[in-house]
Amino acid sequence: MHKSGLKFIHTADIHLDSPLHGLQRYQGAPVEEIRGATRRAFDKLIELAIDEDVAFVLISGDLYDGDWKDYNTGLYFMERMGRLREAGIRVFMVAGNHDAASQITKHLRLPDNVTMFATRAPEQVILDDLKVAIHGQSFAARAVTDDLSRAYPQGDPQLFNIGLLHTCLDGKPGHEPYAPCTVDGLRSKGYQYWALGHVHRREEVSRDPWIVFPGNIQGRHIRETGPKGCTLVTVDNGEVATVEHRDLDVMRWSRCVLDVTNSETVDEIYAQVGKGLQTVLDAAKGRSVAVRLVLHGICSAHTRLHAERDYWIQEYRALANGLSGPGIWLEKVVIETRASLSSDEVLAYDHALGGLLRSIRGMEVDEPALHGLAKEISALRRRLPAEILSGEESYDPSDPEQLKDTLEDIKELLINRLLSTGQDA
């Protein structure tokens, strides 16, 4: 038994060498930092395991991100496992859906301190020196839709029982419904700790017994915001004593949402953006940050802000680059402000643009008319560059739902024009 009782680390969804998305599109993005983020986060995991003198590390699936580009990913992992071996630390892992998609992984010869659970049926490993039993089963294919946990054996009451499982549990938004199971089903096995993986947001699902998703160790895009890391567990007298999240991420993703209702000028909004971004940077505690900036609220600066949208987006990017700290980059700037004038007041304008605005309003609530417009402009689709029609932020003008968003933008332009006409009068 280790000096301070049994300690182990639970981690999952490492996605080694996975690219980070959303920052390469503009000049000055930290491309090299992005490329190496998952490895540097994994290095911090190895250091934590050694510093905390843990008995073993659990990896609940998706160590890899599908097939490697070359063998460097596997060689890197083997070298890090060698460091744990020298420290007397064992590793137990199950393959998740991304691991199962990798052809190279299936032929990788693991060092003797690493155990990969089989795919055919649940396996049990008993660590007699620690009085611990670890149960697990790997994914045999990328899409596993059966409840794997049903076949897991009952826990031994004389041992501390751990279940290692890659699962969506009872379903999580944004995640494929792989190996679904229920909290009651897991609880019925009599284990003290369920080490789950697949869901990238940390969650303590239950404390009796402990059922935990540790989240991934490094956010990879703007949908994976906030601190990322692993879970450090301490066991005393056969019971869970402490469960702690430990940060491992080296680059953090964040949303900076600012209500600019009380900012009357674009300069006041600029100052508010500076304070908001500095707050985000300070909260990252020495990490570089990728931020999505969102401005919303009803303000008198709305007209100018939208009319000069591209200018202000570049100004905000420059402002971010000039802040003190390790680095902050804007992944995207979203301007959702509204004019102080209500849409009903604008519709009442006796003006040609007001009439056009009323026509658009009518089309939004008339589904046949909207689909008719989409069909009419479908010819435009063939003239658009391929990069616009594909990728993360693709645009298809013949899609009625995307056309609705376009009509929103057109309404904003018309309102801005009407307001500026009124101001000039």
For every residue of 13-46, DSSP letters joined together read: ---TTPPP-SSTTSTT--HHHHHTHHHHHHHHHH
| DSSP β-ladder status, 210-213 and 203-207 | antiparallel
Identify the architecture of domain 6-249 in CATH. 4-Layer Sandwich (3.60)
pLDDT at 174: 60
Look at residues 9, 224, 186, 216 and name the one whose alpha carbon lies nearest to residue 98: 216
Pairing type for strands 251-259 and 288-298 reads parallel
**DSSP character at residue 189:** T
**For residue 255, which of 298, 287, 223 has the smallest C-alpha distance?**
223
Residues of each domain in the chain carrying CATH 3.60.21.10: 6-249
The pLDDT, as a whole number, for residue 388 is 56
Report which of 258, 352, 346 is spatially closest to residue 296, judged by C-alpha positions. 258
| Secondary structure (DSSP) of 337-379 | EE-SS-HHHHHT--SHHHHHHHHHHHHHH-HHHHHHHHHHTHH
SS3 category, 308: coil
Amino acid at 49: A
188 contact partners, CB below 8 Å, separation of at least 6: none
* Range 205-214 contact pairs with CB under 8 angstroms and sequence separation of 24 or more: 205/169, 209/240, 210/240, 210/243, 211/183, 211/186, 211/187, 212/10, 212/243, 213/12, 213/169, 214/10, 214/11, 214/12, 214/60, 214/245
pLDDT tens digits in sequence order for the chain, 425 residues long: 444 589 999 999 998 887 776 655 555 566 677 778 999 999 999 999 999 999 999 999 888 876 556 678 888 999 999 999 999 999 999 988 765 545 445 556 788 999 999 988 999 999 999 999 999 999 877 678 789 999 999 999 999 999 999 999 886 666 667 888 999 999 999 999 999 999 999 999 999 999 999 999 999 888 999 999 999 999 999 999 999 999 999 999 999 999 999 888 999 999 999 999 999 999 999 998 999 999 999 888 888 898 899 999 999 999 998 887 778 889 899 999 987 655 555 555 555 555 555 665 555 555 676 666 666 666 666 666 665 555 545 566 667 666 666 666 665 555 555 555 544 44
pLDDT in the model for residue 425: 40
Tell me what pLDDT residue 321 has. Answer: 86
Under 8 Å between Cβ of 229 and 200: no
Instruction: In whole angstroms, give the CA distance from residue 228 to residue 247.
Output: 6
Cα separation, 208 vs 219, in Å, equals 29
In the prediction, which pLDDT does 71 show?
A: 74
Q: Label each residue of 40-106 as H, E or C.
A: HHHHHHHHHHHHCCCCEEEEECCCCCCCCCCCHHHHHHHHHHHHHHHCCCEEEEECCHHHHCCCCHH
pTM of the model: 0.78
Place of tokens 């063998």: 71
Determine whether 402 is exposed, middle or buried from the number of CB atoms within 10 Å of its CB (0-12, 13-18, 19+).
middle
- Structure token digits, residue 422: 């009124």
